[in-house]
Structure 1
Amino acid sequence: MLLIIAIAHATLWVVATETTQIGRPLGGTLVDDVTNFFSTLFVANRGLPLFALLFGYGLAMMVRRQTESGMLERKSKQLIRRRALFLILFGIIHAVFIGGIDILFVYGISTFLIGWILFKKDKVLTHALVFMSLFFVIVLPIIWVIFSVITDIANVETPSRGSLTPGTYVEALFYNVINLPIGMLGQLVMYPMLLTLLIGVWAGHRNLLDAKLHRNWLKRMAIIGTTVSIVGALPLALISVGMWITTPQMEGFMTFLQIITGIAGGLGYMGIFGLIGSSVKQAGLITRSLQALGRRSLTFYVFNETMLVILLSPVALGLGASLHSTGALLIALFVWLLGLVIATIMAKKRIPGPLDFLLRKLVYK
């Protein structure tokens, strides 16, 4: 999961004046085109839905454990609100002072928006899912088609994050402060974040990741979800490498299709990882390392983003100015592997992830 997000975010730091509508740089070599094609199919708008699904799943499981332990609903709601508040705080620090591409802030806001549903009956959750589904299926294509048409009429290219970020740290601070609320609104309106979180809550209520109980469900998620994801992303992948030249209206609609089927992609990955996890009988070094990384996911999400800023951002080493899609992918892989090694060492020494530990302390204080 962290590798998928790192690959998706690394490319955004490539200094490119022209990108696809989902932020992937255009041009480059044939190898870069191949990287863009497969990244649009399997990475872009697939990793973050997976993260959102697991986040919603985790919230549902947390409330269930608290209820089963006899915790009063009032206390459980208080803990959910505290978690949301500190995620917002972590997100502000990460986005403004580190300058990473942040998702913590919007997750905190989203928890405030949907947290009350965690304590309602399934009927309320079902109604919320239906409403959110209709809203995003109707509104999102309109938004993306209008966005595509306006940028075409104005002859405005969509620049990358690396092109927009100022070259000095002080200037970047001001940019980050302004960009934080704008980015949050963009993620909530132009992407189906809330819908994905609610689907994760629905899955958590049914404990779908328990392969002993739901192996067939996981198989269906893996097969159907991955298939729908690939089919939905294929048109935009063809557009991104110039194999399909179409109208701005059609490109906007295909961008919507790539984004909305990312939910299916997240479910597909969720099913695949659930099946793999249940099939491992004896944990070897690779399995233990991945488990160590997963148990410290907050810490190493921020670590990955910090390393990408240091290596690629104009504020630091600025390698994004000399790399394209393939180079950014290799940087992301290097950063993720480095984090994997560090997490493995921390697990052997029984050192918790600092940010994961701090969040638990702050929430349950």
Structure 2
Amino acid sequence: MRGMTATATPPRPTPVSARALGPDLARGGMLLFIALANSHYFLRGATVLGGYPQDGSALDRAVIWLLATFVDGRAFPLFGALFGYGVARIADRQRSLGPRGVRRLLWRRSLVLVVVGVLDALLFFAGDILAAYGVLLLLGAWCVRWRNGALLATAALFLVLTALPGDGSLTISSDPPHAAMLPPDLAAVLPARAQVSLYVALLGPIGFVCPFLIGLWAGRARLLERPEQHRRLLRGTAWVGLGAAALGAQPVALILAGVVDSPARPVLELLGPLHDATGILGGFGYAALLSLLAVRLGARPRPVTTAIAAVGQRSMTCYLVQSVVWSVVFTPFLLDLSGALSVTATALLAAATWLATVVLADRMRRRGRRGPFEALIRRVTYGRAVAGAPAAGPDAGQIGPDHDQNRPTG
């Protein structure tokens, strides 16, 4: 058969029992950070800097500092790295299909991500990143055969590009959020969001290239599945990555928190990229830290750990639940709370939303059910027979490719 050997078995995802804890735990925990990072951009204020109203209380300023230091621009790179990691594991596990067969399998997944992402962006949340992941996978499917040196060199190039001067997200405005985020009425929803969602889908992948390629490299080495074999590398990555992220965030974090005055625009054009570039390193640091944590937690499964990992296995569904919550809470013709909630209250809302998805995902796990969008992406990728299998068998899926991996053996 063309692109597939005669003895090749049909492609199938990894069973839940064979999944490594680290990537699922990282993905599930980081969805909290995704919620915190996205929700504050809906808020209105007399003056808004970097998506944060500047007229809040002292508590609000403390929360802004925490979010700018540890969350903003730090969670999305981790998801980009996990995305690339999953692609590498799929390419390895399905290599019997041949290069063309693997690319077609990945392209089918990218199609689902693009379609679902565009619908989410148009109907609920203009900042949706699923379509951007889909576009990235459409192109990144060609990268699975690159040599390690090419992956690392290209990742380094895009990291440098991220650090080049530019205003990034550090813009000062007295205007309310864009109509794409807060459409004034139902008739304005699609026109307002169409342009922004297209911009995010086509240009968003540029910011994920470096984490994606590093994830491909790490997936080949199976770093997150066998952390006990790579402790020194993972510890160094955690210390260096998180340290660089925390230090590199301080100029922006202190400005956003109102501790220091906002400098002239040329200075902002240097500080914004510094925040973004060190955030990519922070994403790698979080991945390393959580995979090391999984070594300790995996030996003795605990209910909380299992529940958070269940979110990671159903992260696409849980992510889309967040979009629905933001739409209901902030849209002007619905609850319209964008001008009423403070930064602190919005952070609490984000945490509560994430906790609700933890409960939801764990309940689905107990009932042997996968998330509906994980079932969809599996059906398109692997076929009807695999999609219809019980959730206790094949893995539950997540944002982007399945992390086809095995648990550490020692």
Fold shared, TM-score > 0.5 on shorter chain: yes
Q: Kindly report which structure 2 residues correspond to 1:317-328, keeping only aligned pairs within 5 A, or say none.
A: 317-328=335-346
TM superposition shift of 1:203: 1.5
Q: Kindly report which structure 2 residues correspond to 1:210-289, keeping only aligned pairs within 5 A, or say none.
A: 210-245=226-261, 246-280=263-297, 281-289=299-307
TM-score by length of 2: 0.81
Specify which structure has the higher proportion of helix. 1
TM superposition shift of 1:100: 5.2
Partner of 2:328: 310
Choose from 363, 369, 372 the match for 1:345.
Answer: 363
TM superposition shift of 1:16: 3.1
- In structure 2, runs of 5+ residues without a counterpart are 1-29, 384-410
The CA distance in 2 between the partners of 1:233 and 1:17, in whole Å, is 24
Preserved CA contact (<8 Å) 1:6 1:305: no
> Residue 128 of structure 1 aligns to which amino acid in structure 2?
T
1:37 matched to 2:65? The reply is yes
Preserved CA contact (<8 Å) 1:25 1:160: no
1:4 matched to 2:21? The reply is no
Q: 1:335 to 1:130 in 2, by over 3 A?
A: closer
Deviations 1:316-343 (A, max 9, x none): 2122220121011010011111111111
The CA distance in 2 between the partners of 1:35 and 1:161, in whole Å, is 23
Q: 1:18 to 1:172 in 2, by over 3 A?
A: farther
Partner of 2:9: none
Partner of 2:186: 169
Partner of 2:127: 101
Partner of 1:208: 223
Greater Cα shift, 208-217 or 338-347: 208-217
- In structure 1, runs of 5+ residues without a counterpart are none
RMSD over aligned Cα atoms = 2.0
Partner of 2:143: 117
Greater Cα shift, 204-213 or 308-317: 308-317
Partner of 1:144: 167
> Residue 319 of structure 1 aligns to which amino acid in structure 2?
L
Q: 1:336 to 1:161 in 2, by over 3 A?
A: farther
> Residue 204 of structure 1 aligns to which amino acid in structure 2?
G
> Residue 85 of structure 1 aligns to which amino acid in structure 2?
L
Preserved CA contact (<8 Å) 2:180 2:193: no
> Residue 184 of structure 1 aligns to which amino acid in structure 2?
A
TM-score by length of 1: 0.90
> Residue 79 of structure 1 aligns to which amino acid in structure 2?
L
Greater Cα shift, 168-177 or 88-97: 168-177
Preserved CA contact (<8 Å) 2:135 2:202: no
Partner of 2:103: 77
The alignment of Structure 1 onto Structure 2 pairs a total of residues equal to: 351
SS in structure 2 at match of 1:72: helix
TM superposition shift of 1:162: 7.4
